[in-house]
Structure formats: C-alpha cells, structure tokens
Amino acid sequence: MFPTDIQSLSGDILLLVFRELSVTDVLCVRRVCRSFAATTQAKVLWMNFLEAIRSDEENVLPAYTKAPTLLDATTLEALVVRVSRLARRWRNNDLFPAQVWRLHLCQPITWLRLVTGSWLFVASSDNHVSKITCWDMSLLFQDYMEPLAEAYLPGQVKTAQLEVQDSRIVIALGLGPSSPSVHLITLVQHLGAHRFAELYRLEGSSHVLMLQGDFIGCAVRRDRYIPHIINWKTETTYELYPPHGVDEPHFRNTPHSLILWNEFIVVVRHDTLHFYSQPTSAGRPVYAKSVKTVEIWELVVLNSRPSEPLRLLVISSTGVGIITIETDVLFNDDACAHLSVATTPNQWPWYRLTASGRGRRVLWISAEDAMRSNGDNDHPQLVYAAVSPTASESETPLIRWANEYPEDPALWAFPTLDFDEALGYTIVGNCFGELAIYDHIESDPNLCCGLAPDLTAHQLSLPQLLPVTPITLDLHLAPRRPMEETVADRSLTSHWTQDDLPLHSRFWCRDMLCNLYWDWDMWQGNLGDIAWLLSHAFGFPLLPTPQAHAFDEREDMPYVLVRSGERYLIFTLYEDPIRSFELPLPRPLHSRMAERHQYLRPTAFTENQVQRSMFIREHKMSRRNRWREQQERGGQPHNNLLDTDAIQHYYSPTDIAEMQRVWGT
C-alpha cells in the first residue's frame, strides 16, 4: 500500500511523479492500487512515454501510425507497452513467440504482406486456381479465421509489390506463366463488405520489381528481358536499355530490383548499380552511370527517400551487409560503401532476406544445420538482426529460433515471410498452404489494430471489382509420372520443339518424351522444378519451351536446349549449369559456343536442396506427408516438388525408393 500523503496528491502532481517511473513500474502501480488507476491511464502520461521512446534509438516506432493526438488513451498505452517490451526482448536476445495463430490454405502460398499491423494479404495458387485473400488482423487475434475479402485471378501470382498510396492499399501483381500481365489492385468497401478491385491492367509486361507512386517497374516486356517502368496513370511505358546494348551477357536476364531515388532510376544487377535519369515531360530515361558493388544475391531496399543516401540490405557471398549510396554518386567515384552485418559460416546457407518499415530490424532464414548434418532436429531457423548504417558486425547480435512444432508451417517448404519490426509480428507461409502469425510480445495485440487510418474507405469512383468465383487457369500442363505413350500425353507438349532450329541430328534429339530424357515434367514453373530454378537462380522467369536434348559422350554430360522469350538456353543440372545463345544460332550448335551466365540468386539452390532433404527426413521420422494433408483439405498441389532423377547424387537408392513410395511416382 502507498502512504496516505502520496494518495492525497493531486492528479497533476501524480502525473509528474509517474513520468519519472518506467512503463513497467507504472503498470505495477496500477495493479497494486486502484486509486491510481485513472491517473495511470491518462493520455498525457502515455504521450510523454511515447516521446521518451521516440528519443531512444533502441526503440522502433511504426512508420504508419496516426498522429498521437488522434489516438485514444488505450491505443496509445498499448503502443508504448508493445514497443518497450519488444525492445527489452531484443536486448535479451529472445524473440521466441509468445502466441501464434495458424491457418491452413488449399493452395501454395507465393506471396504475403502485413500492412500497418491491420491487414494481412496472401496470394496463393496451384495449377488450377489462383487467388488473393485479405484477413482483418483484429478478427484473427480473436480467433475468427474467415477472410475479410477474397478474389480470384486469371494467372498465378509470380511476383508482387505493395504500397500505401493516397490513403489506400495498392498492390501490383505480376501474373503468369501462360499469359504474362500486370494487375494493379486495391481493397475497397462496397455494399457493406470489402472487395478487391482492379485499378489498372497491362498485358505483355510481367515480373514486377517495383511499385512507387505512379510507377510500376517490371523486368519482362513482350517476351524480352528488358527492364522498364510504367506510369500507370498516363499509361506510358519507358524501357531502360543497357548502356552498351542488350547482348551483353549480364544484361540478358532480369535484374534484382528497380528503384526510384532522387532524380534516378536505379537498376540493381548482380554486382552493379546502373543509374538512369527519371522520365520527364520533355524526355525519356537516359543512362547516366554504373557503380560496382559486392555481388548481390538477395536484396531489400531499406531507404529510398529523396535527399538521403540509398541503403540496400543484401545477401552476398560473404553474408548479410548494407550497401550505402551517397547522393553525390554521379560526381563521386567513392560514393558506394559496403558494411558487413553478419558473416555466413558456409556457402549459401542464408536466404529469404526480409525487412519492413524503416528497415531497422531484419529477418532471414538460415539452413546451416539442415545443410551440414543429417540429425533429427536440424531444422532451418529464423534469424533476426538489428541493423544500423554505422554498427559493426561485432555489434550486431543474431537472434535465432526454429518453429519446430508439428502444427507450425515448415520453414523448409519454400517459405514466404514478412516481419513487422515495430509491433513484433512475424508471418510465415509456405508451399503447403500453411500460414502462421507469430506474436513476440506478451500483450493484447488487438489493442494496436487502430494505429493506422482506415485504408479501405469508399472511393469516389469504384474500380472494376474482381471476381469472387474461381477462374480455371489455362496452363500448358506437362504429363504426370508415370506417363504412357498416348495421344493425350503428346498433345500436352505439342507446343514444344516447334522452332525448326538448325540442330545436328546425330547429337540432338527433338523427342522430349523419349526414354533417353527423364525431366520432361520439370518445365512447368512449379516450385522446385527446373523452370523455377531458371527463374529464381538465373533470372529467366519466362516459362521455358524445351526444344531438344542431347548427351555429350566426351563430357559425359546431358544437355537440354530451351527457349525462354527471345533467348535460347542450354541447361544441365550437373555443371555450372546455364549458358545462352544470341540469335541467329550457330551451325552446328554446341554448348561451348554459348556464353555462360552468372547466378542471379544462388540461394535458390539452397532452398531447393533443403526442401528436398527435409521432406524426406520428416517422413522417415514421423511418417508425415504435408503434401497429402494439403490434398485432404481440398487442394490440388502439383507432385513435382521432389524430382527423383535430379537428386540421385544426394540420396541413397533406399531414400529414393522411399520418396517414390511417398509421392506415388
């Protein structure tokens, strides 16, 4: 109990006293003495705490919150409590979730994003149906799992970007593979319900890399690998041609990203940043300068505000680091600097680099143990780090935890991640449709759902609403194993080998379904197949069309020739595996005449290998089959997530026989 003389103090004096206490102490005072309850709930007290938190660099406040004067006292208190508790957990290197909400979808999850702590958007698709779904987080936190809105799409979501613009949520979806297009959509209120609506559509462009204001950045245009930006409000397209022509080998695939920064468009490639002027009413973009960097495997833009340095968080061959580009980059040859955040312990074990908000706290997946050992509990882990432009690697502790509970989404199953750095949420989805929202703080998350303004308010003019009934996807599906030689099987691949190429008949075989070739069902673009690797590891996202296969007895090497857009690629799984030809093709055609391509994202091989090994390991240990579970809840997942022939050198005949039994292939 408190002395009577303290309890008799006026409210104004008590507020001055409580301002000197910590947030934890004030909450304790409220619990032990009811007479102080009203004073400890005063809005002015929590506004003072908020200002103190804002001045401490250890804390991270949401970038999307309304002005504190517009928040009620309860929401303001919940924000202060959550931010201060999250900072304490970072100090203690402990981010193990305090609570979790789980959902199970029918389709594989290909993209997700948490917006202002209030809305969760998820794109999911298989070879039959594709859709975009939104959940209201305040309802999810009350265990109401029904979506707020759902709509069906005419293609699979391959890439996506999201931005809050003019008090509304805008999402740019890159659809494919059969009919590449870009769809710009938003979430609106209509007749008392929430619906997805289409703002803009562009056929022929795909592989969305950027959404900033009026501009959408894409990497593929009309079957050509040419980065371009689209002003969707004026419907104007600007192509960004390489400085020395499109036939330079490192310009023949897609870049990592496009960024609008100051007066520049920045094209981020393997180890180079290319700067172009932004378009104006008087002219189109013009190449200005190239700047060499460390090799970039994965990339997150931390800051692209005008008048501030451009900061890029990257995974490279050495680990995680920050690339900083100063504003005088055009006139300063030393304007690019690299700061190491964390050094990788071995080759390619880190992937799925993720950051949000102001980019002060970041997340990625580590497969170090899963790649190094065959132990029973060597699961991939989530790795968190607090980063700053000046902190050295020794000052950046890494916080790890693994979601090893059977009901959690498998981190090894081509995961998709998002992370709210301020409120302490981690979102994980995967190819089995498993979805989880992890809350790292022991407080009611529902109290923070009113931080941002409503971004789904009625529009002055209602855009075209997206359909709420399924759209059957028009995909060229390859025959499934085991295949019998039938007219139906042949018709599924009738668009293959139609280019009439000058191939030496003694070396090349045009029959892709013959007994000498085994990977004819791996060109669908499904997760983990060869087409997926061409897209994610090498930057060739257009669905490849096989033309012929061959076996070089001198090199003991099998080859496949495919067309991807306007380029012809020679591919093999057993060597540095990708080369390409400029047109016209040479006569006779041989792999030595092709130009070798660098990896765009070699961490894709890590993802693929970890998924294959962990699926088998889990089934051998517990007889669990998540693929079958997805089927049982109504999904139609593809059966090519594991390819027996491509991984024979990783597993024993016993393992392969077990895998074939599990998958029924």
Please check whether residue 284 is in contact with residue 228, taking contact to mean a CB–CB distance below 8 angstroms.
Answer: no
Question: Are residues 62 and 35 part of one domain?
Answer: yes
DSSP tag of 377: T
Per-10-residue mean pLDDT of the chain, 665 residues long, equals 54 67 77 71 84 87 88 91 93 94 95 96 94 96 96 96 92 90 95 93 95 96 93 94 72 92 94 92 88 94 84 93 92 89 86 89 89 66 87 78 89 95 96 96 90 79 90 77 57 82 80 78 84 92 90 73 88 72 73 78 91 84 88 77 42 51 45
Please check whether residue 169 is in contact with residue 455, taking contact to mean a CB–CB distance below 8 angstroms.
Answer: yes
480 part of a folded domain: no
479 part of a folded domain: no
Q: What pLDDT is attached to residue 654?
A: 54
388 part of a folded domain: yes
List the CATH number of the domain containing 53: 1.20.1280
Question: Are residues 119 and 224 part of one domain?
Answer: yes
474 part of a folded domain: no
Question: Are residues 255 and 171 part of one domain?
Answer: yes
Q: What pLDDT is attached to residue 246?
A: 61
Question: Are residues 403 and 269 part of one domain?
Answer: yes
Please check whether residue 419 is in contact with residue 439, taking contact to mean a CB–CB distance below 8 angstroms.
Answer: no
- Domain extent, residue 430, equals 99-448+455-465
471 part of a folded domain: no
Strands 381-386 and 398-401: antiparallel
Question: Are residues 334 and 223 part of one domain?
Answer: yes
DSSP tag of 658: H
Please check whether residue 537 is in contact with residue 546, taking contact to mean a CB–CB distance below 8 angstroms.
Answer: no
Question: Are residues 299 and 161 part of one domain?
Answer: yes
494 part of a folded domain: yes
From 556, 644, 601, 498, select the one nearest 268 (Cα to Cα). Answer: 601
Q: What pLDDT is attached to residue 645?
A: 39
Question: Are residues 103 and 87 part of one domain?
Answer: no
Question: Are residues 109 and 79 part of one domain?
Answer: no
List the CATH number of the domain containing 194: 2.130.10.10
DSSP state string for 411-474: TTSS-EEEEETTTTEEEEE-TTSEEEEEE-SSS-GGGGTTSS--SSPPPSSPPEEPPSS-----
Question: Are residues 127 and 69 part of one domain?
Answer: no
472 part of a folded domain: no
Domain edge (last residue) among 56, 91, 126: 91
Domain edge (last residue) among 465, 498, 530: 465
Q: What pLDDT is attached to residue 647?
A: 41
CA count, 13 A, side-chain hemisphere, 606: 25
Domain edge (last residue) among 61, 91, 121: 91
Question: Are residues 546 and 436 part of one domain?
Answer: no
Question: Are residues 529 and 622 part of one domain?
Answer: yes
Number of domains, the chain: 3
Question: Are residues 119 and 194 part of one domain?
Answer: yes
482 part of a folded domain: no
